[in-house]
Chain A
Amino acid sequence: MLKSDLTGAATAERLALPRSLIPARRGGVWGDRLYQGMVRAAVLAFVIIVVGIAALLVYAARPALATFGWRFLATADWDPVAEHFGVLPFAYGTLVSSLLAMLLAVPLGIGAAIFLAELAPFWIRSAIAFLVELLAAIPSVVYGLWGIFVLAPLLRRWVEPPLGRWLGFLPLFQGPPYGVGMLAAGVILAIMVVPFIVAVSREVLLAVPNHQREAALALGATRWETTRLAVLRYARSGLLGAVLLGLGRALGETMAVTMVIGNRPEIALSLFAPGYTMASVIANEFTEATSDLYLAALIEVGLLLFVVTVVVNGLARLLVWSVGGAVKEVRE
């Protein structure tokens, strides 16, 4: 707990000073108590809020939890009229769109981070880092707007037909090119999470101590070999953390995906087909949920999303911190 070691009578006693030497302070004791009480209350409130989010979600999802049990996770049926609810089509959509996004965003993001941390001249570094920050600041709904009116038509006209023509033997690229669908969701998610991956990876790379690089360069390694052997290997758990942070974002991203994925609760193998994600079903149907069970089922979808993102983000944090810790140990 908080101790005011440096202030007050405790210090005087420890130093065996006569009390008269400690200057009299008006309101010191009461003010300090008030201050301590306030900061402690704030921190306590914060902890209560975080725990409260989890508790309230479980509480509100109870009807669905009781009715469907584990079946909820394994049923592909989402029928509000008959009150059959299963999360599978949405879990599939969330998973596939996020994986697609990571497939595009990870190589690009780590490549850009290597450029920013290892290769680029100084003035370019700060300029690009600033632009990446701007990219991260664009609201989700603006990405969605752009996705509907620019990205989806672009995919429909220029990307999906050639993909279907050349790679159509794969089930992934079959069917009519709608524009909106899983592919559009994956691309917009990739654009949205790449700034996070770049920012965190860049920090992780910058945290790698310079003697790692100097040793490799002194042995005659080229710039790339230095990066690969001395920097990337040293930073790999932190980079994995950066990737997981990006994945956490992608899994929970709502508006932009809702606007471009097509919102059809079916599991289709083709990336051209419309899909649905856990976050978008909540966004679309929450205000329309007429029965208690329907609402509870949607809240259970939210609870699952909460659990998954907490696990992914918790893991990511620990990994990123582990590199920070390792760096500190080396420096000390």
Chain B
Amino acid sequence: MSRAAARRATNAAMNVLAALAAVVVILPLVLIFGFLVFQGSTALNVDFFLHLPKPVGEPGGGMANAIAGSLILIGLAALFGLPLGILGGVYLAESRDRRLPWICRFLADVLNGVPSIVIGIFAYTLIVLPLRHFSALAGGVALGVIMLPIILRTTEELVRMVPASLREAALALGLPQWKVILRIVLPTARAGIITGVMVAVARIAGETAPLLFTAFGNRFWHHGLDQPIAALPLQIFAYAISPYDDWHRQAWAGALVLISLVLVMSLLARLATKGLYNRRGNYG
């Protein structure tokens, strides 16, 4: 084989290998979704969304309390993470200082990589230990800390993308800075910030590890924010490692519901970004 032919053959082989790698990477997605839909749909019914879990041995029952609990926890996390993240992101984007924003950006990226279970320990020592019991509040704070770096970085990036001409025009008309931010900059960046929020919510909706010893889980409706609360991922975990077939079916159903929630969030985030790109095109 001539040298040129050998080079062409290597080229072709590497191209095929790269394409194969892409296929292998995607393969588990197909397998996981296949099993989720196949196993989950047989166990999913109206009761699942409306009823409390039944004791072992009694068929039926649902995860209504866990679904509600997850929504409450996400709400608490957003209450804590959104204002801090958005305000902080505005600061990072608008600040003329060189050092502090760099440090914050670095800290945000590092915090984003800290295992969520470690954040759980943080919430445990901060809230559960002083209050002396597991609580929805502690779970919400843990999830809020997890969403914080995501919100911070997306807000910063999006605020930075708002054209300077808009800002200058507003300032030239005599608007004070806070009004420029509130009425011009943030609304312009809105679609992107919403995307960041959706991505963050999709991430925390499935978090289990930090809730194990903060929200703790609960087989009944919860009674107040200082009490343990059920969450969909916790319930899936508890049922998956249980020895009962009936609970396994419920776990699949729960996983199907959870993944649908996460996917809807991700898709909404994607749609919001699409609008953003169009709009950005208009400025150009």
Contacts and interface: CB of A to CB of B under 8 A. Distances in A.
Interface of A: 1-8, 22-23, 25, 27-29, 31-32, 34-35, 38-43, 45-47, 49-50, 52-53, 56-57, 59-60, 107-112, 114-116, 118-120, 128, 130-135, 137-146, 148-150, 191, 194-195, 198, 222-225, 227, 245, 248-249, 251-255, 259, 279, 282-283, 286-287, 299, 302, 305-306, 309-310, 312-314, 316-317
A170 to B, nearest CB: 24
16 contacts: A38-B87, A52-B126, A107-B21, A115-B22, A118-B18, A119-B18, A135-B26, A137-B203, A149-B240, A149-B248, A253-B115, A254-B116, A282-B121, A283-B209, A306-B115, A309-B113
A57 B22 contact: no
B176 interface: yes
A255 B17 CA distance: 32
B109 interface: yes
Contacts of B100: 1, 43
A46 B118 contact: no
A249 B21 contact: no
B49 interface: no
A79 B232 CA distance: 33
A8 B182 CA distance: 17
B181 interface: yes
Contacts of A225: 7, 11
Nearest to B171: A6
B206 A302 contact: no
B241 interface: yes
B79 to A, nearest CB: 14
A134 B206 CA distance: 13
> Which are the 9 A-B pairs with shortest beta-carbon distances?
A139-B206, A252-B115, A111-B21, A313-B113, A35-B178, A28-B176, A42-B87, A23-B174, A39-B91
Contacts of A245: 113
Contacts of A42: 83-85, 87-88, 91
Interface stretch (B27-35, B56-64, B276-284): B27-35
Contacts of B258: 139, 141-142
Nearest to B237: A141
B162 interface: no
Given A279-B115, A282-B121, A283-B117, A31 B176 contact: yes
B71 interface: no
Interface of B: 7-8, 10-11, 14-15, 17-22, 24-26, 28-29, 31-32, 35-36, 39, 83-85, 87-88, 90-92, 94-97, 100, 103-104, 106-119, 121-122, 124-126, 129, 145, 148, 152, 167-168, 171, 174-179, 181-182, 202-203, 205-209, 212-213, 216, 233, 236-237, 240-241, 248, 251-252, 255, 258-259, 262-263, 266, 270
A254 B11 contact: no
Contact of A139 (B24, B104, B114, B233): B233
A2 B96 contact: yes
Contacts of A316: 113
A27 B209 contact: no
Contacts of A150: 31, 35
A313 B149 CA distance: 14
B24 to A, nearest CB: 6
Contacts of A115: 18-19, 21-22
A141 B26 contact: no
Given A39-B94, A139-B258, A222-B10, A53 B176 contact: no
A57 B126 CA distance: 10
Nearest to A135: B29
Given A39-B94, A109-B25, A314-B106, 9 more contacts: A23-B174, A25-B176, A56-B126, A107-B21, A115-B19, A118-B18, A141-B258, A224-B15, A310-B110
A309 B115 contact: yes
B92 to A, nearest CB: 7
A163 B176 CA distance: 70
Contacts of A112: 18, 21-22, 24-25
Contacts of A312: 113
A145 B110 contact: no
B148 A46 contact: yes
A250 to B, nearest CB: 10
B109 to A, nearest CB: 5
Contacts of A23: 174
Contacts of A53: 111, 114, 118-119, 122, 145
B7 A222 contact: yes
A279 B94 CA distance: 38
A185 to B, nearest CB: 15
Contact of B117 (A28, A130, A302): A302
Contact of B209 (A3, A25, A110, A140): A140
Nearest to B175: A25
B86 to A, nearest CB: 8
A41 B181 CA distance: 17
Contacts of A135: 25-26, 28-29
Nearest to A39: B91
A111 B28 contact: no
Most central of B15, B18, B87 by chain A CB within 10 Å: B18
A268 B92 CA distance: 48
A134 B171 contact: no
A138 B112 CA distance: 17
A134 B28 CA distance: 11
A45 B85 CA distance: 10
B240 A259 contact: yes
